[in-house]
Every structure is written in structure tokens, then in C-alpha cells.
Structure 1
């Protein structure tokens, strides 16, 4: 953002003060500099630092990086004042702020934006709670409709055999064995095929054998596929999923465009998210505190972090770089 638009190169190279903030894909370090006021200066690297460098080359200026007092991007408070880097621009404490900043009507009314350097969406990051053993996993290979049809067909087979045997009372000794032979076929148990069976008994049972053969082969193949893939529960895919879990809180970036949106929204699911603050289930942290929150609160499973997609991806990448492995985090849109 620029306090005043630049339309031409500076005749002499001034030193402009630029507000910046920590981002996962950037680095902020203090280095000794005898020429600086307090003997050190802020060294800033990353994508936004390169953009500022390109602007400096094109417009003929050098820059001095500074941090905002509250280490935030900036938000409009109810009393009309601004916080963070936006506040430094509004109060003309800096010449411009590097951001990147999310667009909002309030910010656009107070400052001037450059052209957008990237676009993105909101993402949620939740902790993975490890592998889960489902005691009812043996039912998963077949859909509920298939189970219902199978049980209905089995009951139908039993009823048909009972009705047919009812008209042949002389064969009452074989009635029980013949009736439950269909159950033994479904459970893949051995069975006796007496020579006294009638041809229609053999036909009905043979058709049932073919049906259960196809069913059991499909069941075995699907079960093998399920056992070969690890099942890790990922319960939080939408804000509604978090709202419905009373044991999970949300983390949003402090004094950001997203916080301003939550403070001003009047209806919908995000209004319900804003009301979580009254239940102590909504927490706001600065951009610099997000890595620690991801490593402690989110990974523990009782918090969910919400931020723009680019920041979330880079937070996960930074965590991977520091720990050498990708662990216990799940990203949802």
C-alpha cells in the first residue's frame, strides 16, 4: 500500500520506511549496523522483500524495514483508530507497508492498494489424532443398501423353503437342515447335500450359491482394499463441523481482515463463529504466533487454525522444514 501513488522515478534516491511483518515464507532477523539509530537494522527476506526491491530499482529508492508495535497487519477499531501496519500507514509513520494485505472496503477507504500480487481462499488446519480402529469396520466393504438387500434375500430364501416344505409333511425331518442350508452357504460353512433333496431344492440352493459367491468375492476384495489403506479421521472439513464439536476452539489471526469480518458479520455460519468468543472457543493470535499455535494447540487436537490458503500452506511447509517430517496436521478448505 502507498500513502501517495508514485508516478515517476525519484530524482535522488531517498530512504523510505517500510512496514513489514513475519510470514512463513519470509524471514526477519536483526543485524548489527553502525549507521542505524540503535546500532542494528531489520533484515527482511522473502517474496515481498523481492517485490519491494524491484520497486526500489524502478522508482530509485532504498528502504528501511520496521515492525508494527503490535506485530499485526492492522484492523479498524470501533473508536475509528487503526492497528498494526495499516495504522502506521494511516498515521504516516511509514511511507508504505509491504504486506501482503487482504482486500477490504475499510482498508481501501483509508489507504491506497497496489495491484493484487496473489489471490487465495480461507483454509482450516486441524490436528490429526492418529490411526483409528473402527470395531464396525467389517461392515464398510458393502454399502448399507447392499446389506439390506442381502438380508432381505436371505429372509426370502428361508420363507420360500419353509412354505415349500409345508406342502410336503413327509419330509419334515429334512426341513430344518434344508431351510438353514442357505445360511450356511452365506457364511461359507460346509453343508451336506442329501440325495433325498428334490430338484427344486437343488435349483434354489444352487442359484443362492452363485449369488453369495459374487457377494463374498466383492466383500473380500473391498475389505482387502480397506485394510491396505490407513484410516485417519479428519472430522473438520467445514466451519460447521467445528461449531458442532463443543470441545474444539478456533484460532484466527489478530487484527486482520478476517477478524474484522467476524466482528462485523451479522448472520450466517460466520456469525455463529464470532459468537464462539463468548464461550471461550475463539482465540486471536498475531502472525508471528501462528507457528507456535500450530505446533502446540492445533497439533494437540483441541484447536483449529483458520487463515488464508497461502499462509496455511507455508505454515505447514515451515513446520516440515523445522521437524524434517510432515506430521499430525490436516488441511481443509
Structure 2
């Protein structure tokens, strides 16, 4: 069958389907079907198959693998899932696309790549939280350190100058004690300036008051905005944090190339991920249970799903369409970049024409377009915000950090009071 040829008699083929790429199912009128209704599907793989069907003039019927898996090699050398069906000739081909691996290439033929994909990790965002230490956030740690260092330098300088200018003066003690009144200015407390102050003291005080005025005003303005911000935590930023967290777990599809890939690793972070299975922290689930696992495990924050990025984008889009929220996020890690193509039996006549069509699909970016068309909110949650602004009354959960500082200061003052009383 050459690429330019079409079937003259509209044959019908059985095509193995991957449920992960079916974004929607619905009933459609069909006079040839029992009851006048037929179940139809929507998704990027369906768009790909429709493109091929129109190009070569054939019809098709989806065939679902009994175990619902893509397929992996068993210990006896046989294959499960879609790979096994295509290898044994139970279906004419499978559109996928499926990642190209050495083990698959030994039993089936994969066409010219249609897309590039990588394994990524999907986690659940935490609930919005209030940072009780918001009163420290208006300034960075460097600014706080600079303020304290400047205050310390002024205190020491003023103390030394007081010793020099007031030697022999009866008011020496009071004047040296007034050195610490610079702290009163910083804390916006009442400060009385006597007529005995020298010009240099007035200049220091004026500059310090101007500086503290700017600092306190900017602090107050930034503090208001920080108190209105809620933080949405990401339990795991990368794979290392998941592995190190003894309560964390990972979910992958059973009898898949992903499972086979992870188990084959003998070193590195992926070897540690594989070891999670022996520790009871890895869950092998069929593809049909992926959606329920999101609600049962991922959204509670202690599990992540490993899957190819195009499938994760579908999950993200469907979750947003159903809830209107971005409750999930992608971890930073990305592993095993690979090419993906359609799958046909060994030496199948479909391979040459499918290769030509796959090349055209890849060059024109059709498959990416089909993914975005099939998923209304394809990019809505690819980079969800980690901060949100709210407008409501402040509660103790917003401000308990400052109360810790208050009562901590009272406790320290009581200790010094005890020492002063004893001495």
C-alpha cells in the first residue's frame, strides 16, 4: 500500500486504544449499530486515527486491552497490554503514540516519531496557608541585618563621643544613658530633646529620624500587602525531596514501559525510586484508576504520579475543567526524553505509508494541535500560582508569630528582672 494509494472498498480495521488519550466518551446516532446508537470517543489519538482513516479510506473499531495497560515484557518472554495485542496480530495496529524503546522494537515496529515526550511527576498543591511570620517579610534578611548593624554602630559611636565630650561633667551618666534613646526613635516612641544637646548630637538624631521615618512607612505599607497574601505550598519541588520524605509515595501504571524503565535502573535517583516499591511506598495501578488515585492519594499531598507529559497535561486540563481550580502541579524534574510513534506488527504493510504520514504530522505540528484542541484547559494549570491575595479579617492564625515575639520578650525581661533583684 503506497502512501498515495487509498483502499477502494473501505475496509474496517481493529485498532488498540490507549485510554489515557481518550478525553471524552459520548453516544452518537448510528443506524448500523445495535439500538441505533454507538459509543464514540474524543481525544488526540482519535483525531490522529480520523486523519489516517480519511487519508487511506478505511473505518476502524477500537479494541481495549484486557488489562488496560500499554504493555510490558513478562518473565516468560510474552508481552501484556497493547504491545502484546499488536505483536500477536490481535489488532491491525495501535495509534498511541507510544514511546520508542529497544525492547518494544524487538517485537513490534514503531513508525516515524509523531511527538517527543518525557516522564514527569504530578503532585497535589497544599491548601492556602497564612505565614504567621509575615511581619518579617516586608524586608529581606539583608535589610534587617543592615538596620541592626547601623543601629549598633550609632550606639557605639554616640557612647564613645559622650565619653569624650562630657568628661568631668556632672550630667555624664544621664547623657550616656540618652545614647540608647536612639532605639526609641526606631520604635517610634516618645523622645525628649534637652537644651544641653550638642550640635553633632542633633545632626545624628535628625539623620536617624529621617531614616527611620522612611523605614517605618515602607514597612507598614509592605506589611499590609503581606498580610493579605496566602501561600499555596508545593509538598515536593523535585524528586529528591519525595525520596527523602519517608511518608511520600509514588504512583505509576502497572505493566507499562515506565514501570519497566524504573525497575531497570541500577544507580542514581531512579534506583532509589525503584527501591520505594520494596518499602511499600510505590503503588502500581491500572490506567482506569488514575483519576481516582488523584483524589485518593495525590491531592492529599503525600503521593506523586509519574507519567509522560502529554498524559499529565490531559489530567491537569480535565481536573481544571471539572473543579475550576488548579489543585495539581508538575515537579521540576523531567526524565527519559523519548520519541513516540504509532505501533504496527512486525513487517506490516502499514509501516511505510504510516511513516510518511507521521513525518508530515510531525513537521506541521498537528499532534500538538490535536492535544490542545481536545483539552479545553490544556495550559491552565501548567504553572499554577503559589500565592493568592485575599481580603478578609485577620485572625490569630495570621498574627501568632508576633505574639510569640511579644511573650518571648516578656519572658526575657522577667529573667533580667530576677537578676537585677538579686544583684
Query: TM-score scaled by structure 2?
Result: 0.70
Post-superposition Cα deviations, 1:243-288, rounded to whole Å, max 9, x if no partner, equal 1221121112222232222111222222211111121111122222
1:103/1:257 contact within 8 Å kept = no
- How many Å separate the matches in 1 of 2:252 and 2:81? 16
Pick closer, same or farther for the CA change 1:250–1:214 going to 2, 3 Å.
same
1:89/1:96 contact within 8 Å kept = yes
Structure 2 unaligned segments of length 5 or more: list them: 333-423
For the aligned residues, what is the CA RMSD? Answer: 2.8
Pick closer, same or farther for the CA change 1:190–1:108 going to 2, 3 Å.
farther
1:199 equivalent in structure 2: 199
1:130/1:232 contact within 8 Å kept = yes
1:332 equivalent in structure 2: 331
- How many Å separate the matches in 2 of 1:213 and 1:59? 78
2:247 equivalent in structure 1: 247
Pick closer, same or farther for the CA change 1:6–1:226 going to 2, 3 Å.
farther
The 3-state SS of whatever aligns with 1:99 is strand
1:22/1:28 contact within 8 Å kept = no
- How many Å separate the matches in 1 of 2:267 and 2:44? 37
- How many Å separate the matches in 1 of 2:21 and 2:213? 56
The 3-state SS of whatever aligns with 2:205 is helix
Pick closer, same or farther for the CA change 1:131–1:26 going to 2, 3 Å.
closer
Deviation at 1:33, TM superposition (A): 8.9
Deviation at 1:30, TM superposition (A): 8.3
2:71 equivalent in structure 1: 74
Pick closer, same or farther for the CA change 1:231–1:139 going to 2, 3 Å.
same
Pick closer, same or farther for the CA change 1:165–1:176 going to 2, 3 Å.
closer
Deviation at 1:70, TM superposition (A): 0.7
1:73/1:99 contact within 8 Å kept = no
Query: TM-score scaled by structure 1?
Result: 0.87
How many residues end up aligned between the 2 structures? 327
Pick closer, same or farther for the CA change 1:294–1:6 going to 2, 3 Å.
farther
Once structures 1 and 2 are overlaid, which stretch shifts more, 166-175 or 197-206? 166-175
The 3-state SS of whatever aligns with 1:115 is coil
2:418 equivalent in structure 1: none
Structure 1 unaligned segments of length 5 or more: list them: none
1:15 equivalent in alignment to 2:19: no
Pick closer, same or farther for the CA change 1:110–1:210 going to 2, 3 Å.
farther
Pick closer, same or farther for the CA change 1:273–1:112 going to 2, 3 Å.
same
2:17/2:62 contact within 8 Å kept = yes
Pick closer, same or farther for the CA change 1:188–1:107 going to 2, 3 Å.
farther
